[in-house]
């Protein structure tokens, strides 16, 4: 090796540059002072994420109210973070021919641990029935560790107007194939009659009856929205820890989630 003196590649500053070098960093500060403020006023103002944002999961339903999940566990096996727990069961074990999902099996237990989930979306790619999708809901704060494990009741899509709450028989003359193909678009008269006989007080009966009689349009599946109640709980916790300087509670004005939310 030759013993050559070090020569920096960057050109040397002139006398003026050398003079202002110690305060050059303040240039960034001064230029920032004249830029518009970008502070997010969350949770008072909620910014909708992009349409393809991967947020909280949802377990979807068919138009007659049956669940799409068949308890196959493929989502749990695909999950790199081991965040999903599924237990399947047989529809044949439900009383009087009722079904929770089309076909043989349904998801009896379904949990997602949001302390583990990294929102990669591999689970929804693995799902063979499109039962599992991800919504835009990013408000996933919880009061404790147990509260971050979402159960099936938290993840199931809310029943849309005109859907019939499960369990009830599959649409007459269909197999799970017709369901997968999207050929079941509304509850049928036989399903309404079955629920009327087994659960006459079911609050979804009237809406489903109107659909069957042609007095209401077929149901349109609904999605979970940003959860006002969860936001309220998170704000209350933050307010307690910061002396009341977070938000004004107006997030509650968004109202509870269609499924009753999860505080």
| CB 52, CB 90: distance < 8 Å | no
CA distance 233 to 249: 9
Q: How far is the CB of 102 from ligand SF4 (least distance, A)?
A: 11
For the chain, how big is the Rg over CA atoms in Å?
A: 27
Find out whether 237 is annotated in a ligand binding site: no
Find out whether 230 is annotated in a ligand binding site: no
Residue placing its CB nearer to ligand SF4 in the complex, 112 or 164: 112
Residue placing its CB nearer to ligand SF4 in the complex, 105 or 227: 105
Find out whether 120 is annotated in a ligand binding site: yes
Residue placing its CB nearer to ligand SF4 in the complex, 59 or 251: 59
Residue placing its CB nearer to ligand SF4 in the complex, 43 or 107: 107
Enumerate residues 55-74 that contact ligand SF4 by CB under 6 A.
69-74
The token pair at 229 is 């109640």
Q: Which of 66, 132, 195, 235 binds ligand SF4 (CB under 6 A)?
A: 132
Q: Which of 148, 143, 90, 161 is nearest to 115 (CA)?
A: 148
Find out whether 117 is annotated in a ligand binding site: yes
Q: Which of 42, 46, 55, 81 binds ligand SF4 (CB under 6 A)?
A: 81
Which stretches does DSSP call E strand in 31-157? Answer: 57-59, 84-90, 105-113, 132-134, 149-150
The token pair at 18 is 């050398």
Torsion of CA 136, 186, 196, 130, to 10 degrees: -40
Sign of the torsion formed by the C-alpha atoms of 172, 174, 178 and 179: positive
Q: Which of 56, 66, 100, 129 binds ligand SF4 (CB under 6 A)?
A: 129
Residue placing its CB nearer to ligand SF4 in the complex, 111 or 250: 111
Total binding residues for ligand SF4 by CB under 6 A? 27
Residue placing its CB nearer to ligand SF4 in the complex, 66 or 123: 123
Q: Which of 192, 154, 188, 193 is nearest to 174 (CA)?
A: 188
Enumerate residues 98-127 that contact ligand SF4 by CB under 6 A.
107, 112, 117-123, 126-127
79 lines the binding site for ligand SF4 (CB under 6 A)? yes
Q: How many CB atoms are closer than 10 A to CB 11? A: 7
SS3 47: coil
157 lines the binding site for ligand SF4 (CB under 6 A)? no
Residue placing its CB nearer to ligand SF4 in the complex, 117 or 195: 117
CA 124, 186, 97 angle in degrees (round to 5)?
Answer: 85
Q: How far is the CB of 133 from ligand SF4 (least distance, A)?
A: 9
Alpha carbon 11 to its chain centroid, in Å, reads 54
Which stretches does DSSP call E strand in 128-241? Answer: 132-134, 149-150
Which residues fall in the annotated binding site for [4Fe-4S] cluster?
A: 69, 72, 75, 79, 117, 120, 123, 127
Which residues fall in the annotated binding site?
A: 69, 72, 75, 79, 117, 120, 123, 127
Q: Which residues bind ligand SF4 (CB under 6 A)?
A: 69-75, 78-79, 81, 83-84, 86, 107, 112, 117-123, 126-127, 129, 131-132
């Amino acid at each position: 090796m030759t013993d050559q003196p070090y020569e920096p590649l960057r050109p040397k500053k002139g006398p003026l540059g050398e003079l202002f070098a110690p305060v050059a960093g303040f240039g960034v500060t001064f230029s920032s002072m004249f830029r518009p403020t970008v502070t997010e006023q969350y949770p008072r103002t909620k910014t909708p994420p992009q349409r393809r944002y991967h947020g909280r999961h949802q377990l979807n339903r068919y138009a007659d109210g049956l669940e799409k999940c068949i308890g196959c566990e493929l989502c749990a096996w695909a999950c790199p973070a081991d965040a999903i727990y599924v237990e399947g069961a047989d529809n044949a074990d439900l009383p009087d021919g009722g079904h929770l999902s089309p076909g043989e099996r349904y998801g009896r237990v379904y949990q997602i641990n949001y302390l583990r989930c990294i929102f990669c979306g591999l689970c929804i790619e693995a799902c063979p029935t499109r039962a599992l999708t991800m919504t835009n809901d990013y408000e996933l704060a919880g009061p404790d560790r147990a509260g971050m494990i979402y159960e099936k009741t938290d993840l199931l899509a809310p029943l849309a107007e005109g859907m019939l709450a499960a369990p009830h028989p599959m649409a007459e003359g269909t197999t799970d194939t017709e369901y997968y193909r999207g050929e079941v678009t509304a509850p049928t008269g036989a399903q309404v009659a079955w629920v009327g006989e087994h659960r006459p007080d079911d609050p979804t009966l009237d809406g489903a009856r109107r659909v069957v009689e042609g007095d209401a349009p077929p149901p349109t599946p609904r999605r979970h929205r940003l959860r006002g109640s969860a936001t309220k709980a998170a704000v209350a916790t933050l307010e307690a820890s910061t002396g009341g300087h977070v938000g004004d509670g107006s997030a509650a004005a968004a109202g509870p989630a269609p499924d009753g939310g999860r505080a």
